[in-house]
Structure 1
C-alpha cells in the first residue's frame, strides 16, 4: 500500500483532499510546497500554513453564502459611512454596535429618522458584520414581510415559515413606516417580535418616532405591547439632518440609502 502511494503521490493527494473536501489545500498545495521549500519551513510551520489556507477559504465561502442568503439591497458597509456629512450620527455608538456584542446579549436595535439619512446603510453594515462573523442574517422590507406572513397563513404554511425565521441570528426589518395593518397582520408581526424576545436580535428601521407607532398598528394598546418587548433590551438610534439624496450625493446613488 505504501509503495502504491509513493508511486502515485499526486493522484493520492488529489483524491484524499477531494474526499475530505479540502478545497483550498487541493488548489494550492503545490504552490505552498514551493513556498515552504523557498522559505525553508519546518514541518510544523508548513502544516500550520496548509491549515490556515483551508480555514481562510472556508471562512470566505461561508461569508459569501451568508451574504447571498441575507438579501441585502445594497453593498454598504459600516466603513463607508461618511460621518462628516451628518454629524448627528454617533460614530462611537455605530462602531460599538458593529462589534456585535448586542447580538451576544440578544438585544435589539431601532434606527429612527427621515428618509435618506442612512438608516438602511447602518442596518446593512451591521448585518454584513454579522455575516462576516459567520452568523445568519435576513434583510427584509417590513411590508413585504407582513404580506408574506399573511400569505403563508392563508396557505397553511405559517408555522414552518415562523420556525425558519426564528433560526436566523439577526433579522433586519427595513422601512417599518406607514403600513396600515389590520388585526390579523398585526398579530403576525407581533409573533415575530415575541418569538425573538430575549432569544435572537432584531434591527428595525423606521421613519416614524415611537410616539407615533400607534399609526402603524390598530391602536396605542397594540403599539405599546410591541414596543414593550422591543425596547426591553434595545439600542435606539435617532438620526436627524439632511438626506444624502437631496444633497445629490454620488455616494447615496451608489449605496442606495433609505
Structure 2
C-alpha cells in the first residue's frame, strides 16, 4: 500500500511540475528524495534545495534569453581581450566600464578610432556582461538600424518600436559612420537616439572623429546636436592605434 501511494504521489508531482513548468524540479525530484532519505535532512532543507535548483535553472535560462534577444552578431567576452594590446585610453577606462555603473547612471560610451582596434569586441563584451547581470540589451549596426527604422515607419509601426527601444537598459550601435545616410535615415537615427538621452545608456562604435559626424547626418546643425547629446556626461574612449586584429594575427603566426 505504501509503495502504491508513493507511485501516486510521484505521478502527481510530475504532473503538477509539468503544468507549473518546473522542469528541473520534475527531473530531479526522485534523486532528491533518495538523497534526502539517505541523509535524513529536514523537510525545510529538502524543499529549499529543490526550489534553489529550479531558481538557478530559470536564472540561467533568462541570461541565455537576454543574450539571444540582444541579437549580437557573435559572442565576444571581455575576458578574451588582451588588455595590454588595446589602445592606451581603452586600457585606462576598461576597468571603469567593466563595472557597468555607466548603465545604472544612464551614461553613454563612445568608442572612437580606426578599424581593428577592438571597438566592437569591447562593445559586445560589455553588452554580454550586461545581459548576464540582468540588463536588457539591444545590438545593431547603424546601417541595419536605419533600414529597420525606415521599414517600421513605412509599416506605421515605428511608435511601438520606439516604446520598446526606450525600455532597453543598453543599446549598442556598431559601425557608426562606415556608411553615410540620406536625410530621412539621419533624421530617424537622431530622433530615436534622442529619446534615450540622459535616461538610458547607448554605446556607439565609430571610425569617425566628432568633427566628421556631419558626413553621416548630412545636416551640420543636426550633427552638432547629436554630438552634444551623445557626449554629454559620456565616456569617450580613444581607440586609435595599431590594429588589434593585426597584432593578434602576427602573434599567432609567430607562435605557429
Taking structure 1 as the reference length, the TM-score comes to 0.87
Conserved in 1, the CA contact under 8 Å of 2:178 and 2:206?
no
Aligned-pair RMSD on alpha carbons?
A: 2.3
Question: How far did 1:134 drift?
Answer: 2.3
Which runs of 5 or more structure 2 residues have no equivalent in the other structure?
A: none
1:255 is matched with: none
Residues 128-177 of structure 1: CA distance to partner in whole angstroms, max 9, x if unpaired? 01111222211101011112212222232222222232232211100001
2:239 is matched with: 239
Which runs of 5 or more structure 1 residues have no equivalent in the other structure?
A: 253-258
The answer to which structure has the higher helix fraction is: 2
Give the number of aligned pairs.
Answer: 249
Taking structure 2 as the reference length, the TM-score comes to 0.88
Conserved in 1, the CA contact under 8 Å of 2:187 and 2:217?
no
Q: 1:87 to 1:158 in 2, by over 3 A?
A: closer
1:128 and 2:133 are equivalent in the alignment: no
Distance in 2 (alpha carbons) for counterparts of 1:97 and 1:205: 14
Distance in 1 (alpha carbons) for counterparts of 2:97 and 2:71: 21
Question: How far did 1:240 drift?
Answer: 2.4
My pick for the range that moved more, 237-246 or 166-175, is 237-246
My pick for the range that moved more, 146-155 or 116-125, is 146-155
Residues 16-47 of structure 1: CA distance to partner in whole angstroms, max 9, x if unpaired? 21222212111122223334444443333322
Question: How far did 1:209 drift?
Answer: 1.4
Conserved in 2, the CA contact under 8 Å of 1:113 and 1:238?
yes
Distance in 1 (alpha carbons) for counterparts of 2:180 and 2:27: 54
1:9 is matched with: 9
Distance in 1 (alpha carbons) for counterparts of 2:5 and 2:169: 45
Distance in 2 (alpha carbons) for counterparts of 1:250 and 1:37: 60
Residues 178-233 of structure 1: CA distance to partner in whole angstroms, max 9, x if unpaired? 43223322210111111111222111100111122122212331111111211223
Distance in 1 (alpha carbons) for counterparts of 2:61 and 2:88: 36
Distance in 2 (alpha carbons) for counterparts of 1:110 and 1:125: 15
1:80 and 2:80 are equivalent in the alignment: yes
1:166 is matched with: 166
Conserved in 1, the CA contact under 8 Å of 2:86 and 2:118?
no
